[in-house]
Amino acid sequence: MNAIKTIEKAKISFFQVEKCGYFTYGPKPSFQFGDLATILTALKSWSTGKSLGQTQTFQAPLNSDQLPVYLYDIASLGSDWLVVLWNQIPATNNRVASVQANGVVGGAQVHMNSVATGTIPGFATYFWFIPSANVFASIRFQHATVGHAGLRAYARGYIERHTPFTAYEKNPTTADIEIVGYRSSPSAAVRNLAPRFQSEPFRKPGEHDMLLKNYSRITKVLRKTTLELQTPEDLDFWQSAWRKIRGRAIPAQIDPVSISYEISTVLSKKDVQDIIDHSATDTETWDDIGFMLKNDQTPHWLSKSFARDTFDIQVQRVNEEIVNLDELLKELDSQRTRLLDLL
């Protein structure tokens, strides 16, 4: 019996791949080999037959917020690729903590939820790669998290340590296996090259330059966001705002709340640049940020400066967390022209 397919809202955000592969060192790095299509093909080959636990490509440094990331699945259709990463979340003694959303600050009850033995608690993130355009898109269904930082760390770790271009030697003193350089083929000379993966949110030209040029005309900053009331910080913000409006506490609820507000302000050019940069790198915080300019009644939203939007996507659910990868690839391919019109 065929699995049921449903239409879901998918938030799609495009990113530009600035660097991928191996580059010379120096003030003007030069690309040598290992383009995006080559790296994705190598990743597919490297992961074949591995257990998920064997696909970790990096160890997060001490004092880092980055948690382990694993390769859940990878597939291609034509020249495009779909990569699914599994992002580990913290657990204590094989249990994951959750807290009462309507609990009183300082006294909310914490529940420890068991994790099945031998499993990795976490969530999936989906990335659609189009090497011919040197871009990829994050695809979000039920989660607010884009997962861009996890993808970058994963790709950098793979390119640095695990591709077939990586040359190793055994240290005669310590017996450790060490990376000695990189080579374009097994018969090529080993070279001292810099492994790189760098990506940034895809920015449409024009709007940012206009805002920076007219920073002195900005009179208000507008913000639209969705508050996740299971998050203590969002819950506190919402309760405080509600008290100011209604003069009393809100009834208990855990459903997300969409809000918008505006702040009258005077900004420097650096302030505007900082807001633009923050909006680009921290896409998981605010749904949108806008500006009102003197003698201009039209708000200028930063979301329109980035290649991202919400689309109806037909998916076939494997479970509440995972969708069928091949079916998703086919669906993305069927809407390819429409999706790439964002760029």
**What pLDDT, in 10s, does the model give residues 188-215?**
999 999 999 999 999 887 778 899 999 9
Q: Could you read off the pLDDT of 15-26 as tens digits, one per residue?
A: 999 999 999 999
Q: Would you state the structure tokens that stand for residue 326, as one six-digit string?
A: 């091949």
Task: Quickly count helices (H) and strands (E) in the chain.
Answer: 7, 16
Predicted confidence (pLDDT) at residue 1 exceeds the cutoff of 50 = no
pLDDT in tens, 260-313: 788 899 999 999 999 888 776 655 444 788 999 999 999 988 877 889 889 999
- Average pLDDT value for the chain: 89
Cite the DSSP H helix spans in the chain: 36-47, 148-161, 207-213, 232-246, 269-281, 325-334, 336-340
- Adjacent-strand bridge partners of 235: none
What are the structure tokens assigned to 75, written together?
């597939």
> Which residues, listed in sequence order, are joined to residue 8 by a DSSP beta bridge?
313
Cα 216 to Cα 210, 273, 276: the distances in Å are: 11, 13, 16
262 phi/psi in degrees, rounded to 5 = -135, 150
Phi–psi pair at 228, nearest 5 degrees = -90, 105
> What angle, rounded to 10 degrees, do the helices at 148-161 and 36-47 form?
80
The pair of structure tokens assigned to 162 is 């695990």
Domain boundaries along the sequence of the chain: 5-202+308-341, 207-304
* Region 323-337 average pLDDT: 97
Q: Kindly give the pairing relationship between strand 110-114 and strand 122-130.
A: unpaired
pLDDT in tens, 109-153: 899 999 999 999 999 999 999 999 999 999 999 887 899 999 999
Kindly report the pTM of this predicted structure. Answer: 0.79
Judged by average pLDDT, the poorest of 41-45, 168-172, 243-247 is 243-247
Q: What are phi and psi of 18, to 5 degrees?
A: -80, -40
